[in-house]
Amino acid sequence: MKKTILGFTAALALLATSFAFAQATGKPADFVDPGLFKNLILGFSVALSWTNLWYCFIGCFLGTLIGVLPGIGPVATIAMLLPITFNLPPIPALIMLAGIYYGASYGGSTTAILVNLPGESSSVVTCIDGYKMGQQGRAGPALAIAALGSFFAGTVGTILIALFGPPLAELAFEFGAAEYFSMMVLGLVAAVVLASGSLIKAIAMILVGLLLGLVGTDVNSGIARYSFGISELSDGIGFVSVAMGMFGFAEIVGNLEAKEADRTGATISEVKSLMPTAEDIKMSIGPIIRGTAIGTIFGILPGSHTVIAAFSSYTLEKKLAKDPSRFGKGAIEGVAGPESANNAAAQTCFIPLLTLGIPTGAVMALMVGAMTIQGIAPGPQVMTQKPDLFWGMIASMWIGNGMLVLLNLPLISIWVMFLKIPYRILFPGICLFCSIGAYSLNNSAMEVYLAATFGVFGYFASKWGCEPAPLLLGFVLGPLMEENLRRAMLISRGDPSVFFTRPISCGMLIVAGALLIMIISPQIKKKRDEVLIEGDGL
């Protein structure tokens, strides 16, 4: 509950500051742009072309397919399927990737409801009541409500991106190198503050990520840094190799170690009828709306907060319920709220990426990588220079969400079939897909060796309590941060005080510092650990 209030306050502050910035820069803060409808029509005309609809469908389908497989989160799913999009033009490639992301998130909740195994961490909460509903023979309504709630949340998220994207991008155009640098510092700090596990280890992992991101030819001097004479390394380490190693190989080994992912013993709930009763729908409307609101806010904040969004929504519904004892025993509100929150957060985390060019979590970091491969630098200029891409992607997000409802409910029997494959048969295939994917990046075995190296590194790092997600975030931001630091220092003639004399930059650094101090203070640290441990224990 405290977390929710904190989130609301933070979002309000965020809105107020963006409004203030718009005022300060002399631009009217017209949040409802008169050109909005024109833009949306442009977007839909792009997204509704047969080719793009087809790629959106393929993305959703493949994403769900891989997402229902045990022990593969959205990051590994996207990394694995990324090579498929390399040969496509930018617009279909990004539309397909967004589809893969939604599909993967949705696949996670399907397994949570049917077999009590969260395909990804944000579905942990769905397991509690979703699986109970399944055992009571109500898996169908649980899946349907999860799908409808996600669709509603996705719709709201899409509208918000369309509304707030342009003014935020406008604001980002005012940013200089100093502001960008400070914003990245703030983004990285905020991303670790709410992450689970040890704070200091997360920061250290970010630093390692930043360092790894610097491997390769330095743009200013042309010197190949840390390449050790290996020609592939002078182009830098491929982020797909890092992601596949740490989220693919390392996770497979972790799953084999835990032997948890093998669901041969688990009972799969039968799906009888998908139709929720009128009572179900009536009870779900409130949780869906509240979950969407919570998720929206957590999505915009830096850090991958789908887990916390889902968890906050669950706690809130439990607090608001007339009879809280129903929770944990198959309460439909416990599925509707968290699923909506989860999906709303998955949607709105595109806002900072598309407008400011700042990824807020590991999945968004992958999207940055994918955009870079397509020759697009994420940031405010995408909207003005490639409006068809920007608005087409937004429109396709909404179409993708709708497609998931249409796709998943009828296809549920296919997903159940995949669920029945034992893990010992599955994992060699997953491994092989990762190897082939890594190889196909440059048609070179080097990327495969790199992925294996990062797999070993990721395995030991997570054994010692260091999470891989902050590293990936740092890895993507490394070169950007160095470039902006260099530029800012060049402009200021080597005076580091520039970061504090420019008001916006100074403000962001103060917020970053305050967040760090807050989290170190014993009282808040205790609270954070409580929430996260409670979340883990669910």
Partner 1 sequence: MIKSKKDLYAGLMFIVIGGFFALWALNYPMGTAVRMGPAYFPSILGWLTAGLGVIIMVRGFTMPDVDPNPTQWKPMLWIHGSAVLFGLLVDPLKIGFVGAVVASVIACAYGGYEFKWKEAIISAAVLTVVCWGAFVYGLGLPFRLFPGS
Binding site residues, partner 1, CB under 8 A: 83-84, 87, 198, 200-201, 203-204, 207-208, 210-211, 214, 218, 220-221, 223, 225-226, 249, 252-253, 256-257, 259, 423-425, 427-429, 431-436, 438-440, 443-446, 448-449, 451-452, 455-456, 459-461, 463-466, 481-482, 485-486, 489-490, 493-494, 496
Single-letter code of the amino acid located at 206: I
* Nearer residue to partner 1 within complex by CB, 275 or 517: 517
Task: Tell me if residue 224 falls in helix, strand or coil.
Answer: strand
197 within 8 A of 465, measured Cβ to Cβ: yes
Q: How far is the CB of 496 from partner 1 (least distance, A)?
A: 7
* Nearer residue to partner 1 within complex by CB, 301 or 473: 473
Q: How far is the CB of 503 from partner 1 (least distance, A)?
A: 22
The closest of 383, 372, 392 to 92, measured between CA atoms, is 392
Angle (CA) 337 338 340, round 5°: 70
Q: How far is the CB of 220 from partner 1 (least distance, A)?
A: 7
* Nearer residue to partner 1 within complex by CB, 27 or 486: 486
CA–chain centroid gap for 64, Å, is 16
* Nearer residue to partner 1 within complex by CB, 41 or 200: 200
In three-state form (DSSP H/G/I as H, E/B as E, the rest C), the secondary structure along 401-456 is HHHHHHHHCCCHHHHHHHHCCCHHHHHHHHHHHHHHHHHHHHCCHHHHHHHHHHHH
* Nearer residue to partner 1 within complex by CB, 32 or 223: 223
CA–chain centroid gap for 156, Å, is 17
Q: How far is the CB of 134 from partner 1 (least distance, A)?
A: 27
* Nearer residue to partner 1 within complex by CB, 196 or 381: 196
Q: How far is the CB of 343 from partner 1 (least distance, A)?
A: 29
Beta-bridged to residue 225, according to DSSP, are 216
- DSSP 8-class letter at 315: H
* Nearer residue to partner 1 within complex by CB, 383 or 512: 512
- DSSP 8-class letter at 249: I
Q: How many CB atoms lie within 10 A of CB 452?
A: 17
Q: How far is the CB of 427 from partner 1 (least distance, A)?
A: 6
145 within 8 A of 278, measured Cβ to Cβ: no
Q: Which two tokens stand for residue 253?
A: 């080994």
Q: How far is the CB of 139 from partner 1 (least distance, A)?
A: 29
Q: How far is the CB of 293 from partner 1 (least distance, A)?
A: 37
Q: CA-to-CA distance for 45 and 76, rounded, in angstroms? A: 31
Residues listed for the chain: 538
* Nearer residue to partner 1 within complex by CB, 50 or 464: 464
